[in-house]
Amino acid sequence: MNEIEFKSAFDAVRFALSYSSQQYGESPMAKRMRGEAAEPGMGLIGLTGAGQAGLIRREMWELPDLHLSVLVARAAPHDIPCSCGAACCSGRVPNVEWVTSVSWLTAASAAHCSGFSHYRVRRAIIERIFGVKCSLVDIAKEYEAHANTVSNHNTAVRRWLEGNKKTGEQGVCDVAWAAMERRLDELGILKAPENA
């Protein structure tokens, strides 16, 4: 069993997707020389953090593309720091992993929207489901789509991703997270419910 445990599959995936190869922690010797006591955190810095992130990512990549895309869209940061120093740079750039996952889900969602399927509307709805703040009215205006089209797409895409509580039908998100939870639990990196 690993010494490092996460409270949930979401916490583990979020850690793995947010871990940067540019994160360098101070060595224990450097901290000791400064007279600092050891921190009570998880200790996921340097090679330990990179190893843990890699282990979690490896388990994610074993899942079907649909499930992987859902996990990344839910847990990855939407943008990441940029240190290019250009005058026009805001200091942040879109996270390619998140953008790629949203694109994959947008293409896959076409099968769930009947009639005329509007790609940009579906994409905006998927971005909205995964944390981009906008309203359905804003989406309809921006893409010059009828409000009913946007509403119908939203209903279909949400049912596909989130399921239907009335019928008890599971959505793709629930299935993907349950699969990841099983994988990480088998590895012993999730805290037992009584310890969480």
Facing residues of 94 across strands?
Answer: 79
Confidence at residue 40, expressed as pLDDT on a 0 to 100 scale? 41
Query: Which residues have C-beta within 8 Å of that of residue 111, sequence separation ≥ 6?
Result: none
Query: Which residues have C-beta within 8 Å of that of residue 117, sequence separation ≥ 6?
Result: 110, 153
Which two structure tokens, joined as six digits, stand for 59? 């388990």
Residue 196 Cα distances to 9, 14, 179, angstroms: 12, 17, 19
In tens digits, what is the pLDDT along the chain, a chain of 196 residues? 345 789 999 999 999 998 874 444 444 544 455 554 444 444 455 567 788 899 999 999 999 999 999 999 999 999 998 888 788 888 889 999 999 999 999 999 998 877 667 899 999 999 999 999 999 999 999 999 999 999 999 999 999 999 998 999 999 999 999 999 999 999 998 887 664 4
Confidence at residue 31, expressed as pLDDT on a 0 to 100 scale? 47
